[in-house]
Amino acid sequence: MHHVIRRAVRTAALLCFIATAPAHADGTLKLEAPKPNVAPTPPMGWNSWNKFDCNVSEQMIRQQADAMAASGMKDAGYRYIVIDDCWQKSRDADGNIQADPERFPSGIKALADYVHAKGLKFGLYSDAGVLTCAGRPGSAGREFQDASQYAKWGVDFLKYDWCNTGTRNAEAAYTLMAKALRESGRDIVFSICEWGTDHPERWGPTVGHLWRTTHDIYDGWESTKDKGNGMTNILDMQAARGGVSAPNAWNDPDMLEVGNGGMTTTEYESHFSLWAMLAAPLVAGNDLSKMDADTVRILTNKDVIAVDQDPLGQQGRRALKEGDLEVWVRPLQGGEFAAVLFNRGKTPADMTLKWDRLGLPGDRKADVKDLWSKKVTKGVRGSYGSKVAPHGVTMVRIKAAP
């Protein structure tokens, strides 16, 4: 008798498990088409959200594309112009997604053509829920229709958000959109924006090209009570998660705030350097049409960008933390290294990078280039020392003798 009851309970539990097994929430979906090779290095571009919020229009987007081409950003490697939330307004009688006709009177295709004519690439935003985070129509249940529309418009990049998704399983929902994009007839970068909630580092590499690891960044050094995550908090969350990156599979600690005014020039240099150490997508979030000289200098620092874009694609890590002082290291292609000495404190600090942090023998000679001052020191042995400004970094590239 007990046996029978136990078996019945077990059977019920099994049925229950099958009915709710999350990985199968959208059926047994398989990604047959391979992931297009469109992000062999972390994508570089610009996105409207950090600066413009919902206030997007075709005129503003054209201005940003003009500025990207004219300011030196394009020459430095930035390519994608991405419209975040609020470009969409409704669906027509056939369910086709419609841009806001007042803000985008010429339509999305014309805007994509304009961006492409500048030698740049064009991106859009949608959401796996019925509504986006700002309450615009999302793509739930319309994945294939939307993906085919994006392909017709000439979209090269899709950021896909996670608001209003109810009980949807993240992996299944993102896999469905990945399948739709891969079958759309156009190679599209797939940017997963699920805030690191359901371990996107496990399934993201198969499904998309980059995946957010945290909730939103805000333009400040550290979190305050009423604001979101400051730059250093995002950094700590990313350091704690570790995470493996590789070509076409990047951890995304959120977009850049450089030039938005909430941090000092020194703090923005730290932000940019550390994002490069993380092999993060470099997506500017400021007004490109109104940049001061420091903002341009930071965002177009070719040596720092070269670290971010290193073809090996191996994310850096925090090798040492002693109070406010941190050492970050990153192996680069060809046996070189990048390192950051980061001073989170309020006073200048004398810091040292020891060769053993890089796995180099202490007596090995190396050439060291400071990537901000551009100073090169040849034949350095054992360690490299630097006075690091409060909230600042010294970032170096190290080439050891063979």
Catalytic residues: 161, 216
The label of the residue with tokens 């419209």 reads 83
Least Cβ distance, residue 368 to ligand GLA (angstroms): 37
Q: Which is nearer to ligand GLA, 156 or 336 (CB)?
A: 156
Q: Which is nearer to ligand GLA, 128 or 396 (CB)?
A: 128
- Measured in whole angstroms, the distance separating CA 33 from the mean position of its chain's CA atoms is 24
Q: Which is nearer to ligand GLA, 192 or 307 (CB)?
A: 192
In order, the DSSP letters of 5-56 are HHHHHHHHHHHHHHHH-GGGTT-S----SPPPS--SS--EEEESHHHHTT--
Binding footprint of ligand GLA on the chain (CB under 6 A): 49, 84-85, 132-134, 161, 193, 216
Number of Cβ within 10 Å of residue 122's Cβ equals 27
Least Cβ distance, residue 75 to ligand GLA (angstroms): 27
Q: Which is nearer to ligand GLA, 201 or 216 (CB)?
A: 216
Least Cβ distance, residue 159 to ligand GLA (angstroms): 7
CA-based nearest residue to 353, from 321, 384, 390, 329: 384
Least Cβ distance, residue 298 to ligand GLA (angstroms): 21
Q: Which is nearer to ligand GLA, 259 or 316 (CB)?
A: 259
| Cα separations in angstroms, 327 against 254, 335, 357, 362, 376 | 22, 19, 9, 17, 20
Least Cβ distance, residue 39 to ligand GLA (angstroms): 18
Q: Which is nearer to ligand GLA, 253 or 316 (CB)?
A: 253
In order, the DSSP letters of 230-298 are -HHHHHHHHHHH----BTTBEEE-----TTSSSS-HHHHHHHHHHHHHTT--EEE-S-GGG--HHHHHH
Chain residue whose CB lies nearest ligand GLA: 133
The label of the residue with tokens 């610009």 reads 46
Least Cβ distance, residue 393 to ligand GLA (angstroms): 25
Least Cβ distance, residue 254 to ligand GLA (angstroms): 7
Q: Which is nearer to ligand GLA, 216 or 294 (CB)?
A: 216
CA distance 281 to 300: 14
Least Cβ distance, residue 49 to ligand GLA (angstroms): 5
In order, the DSSP letters of 128-193 are SSSB-TTSSB--TT-HHHHHHHHHHHT--EEEEE-TT-TT--HHHHHHHHHHHHHTTTS--EEEE-
Interior/surface letters 342-379, b for 16+ CB within 10 angstroms, e for the rest: bbbeeeebebebebebbebeeeeebebbbbbeeeeeee
Interior/surface letters 306-320, b for 16+ CB within 10 angstroms, e for the rest: ebbbbebbebbbbbe
Q: Which is nearer to ligand GLA, 156 or 161 (CB)?
A: 161
Bridge partners (DSSP) listed for residue 122: 81
Helix, strand, or coil (residue 226)? coil
- Measured in whole angstroms, the distance separating CA 282 from the mean position of its chain's CA atoms is 7
CA distance 230 to 223: 4
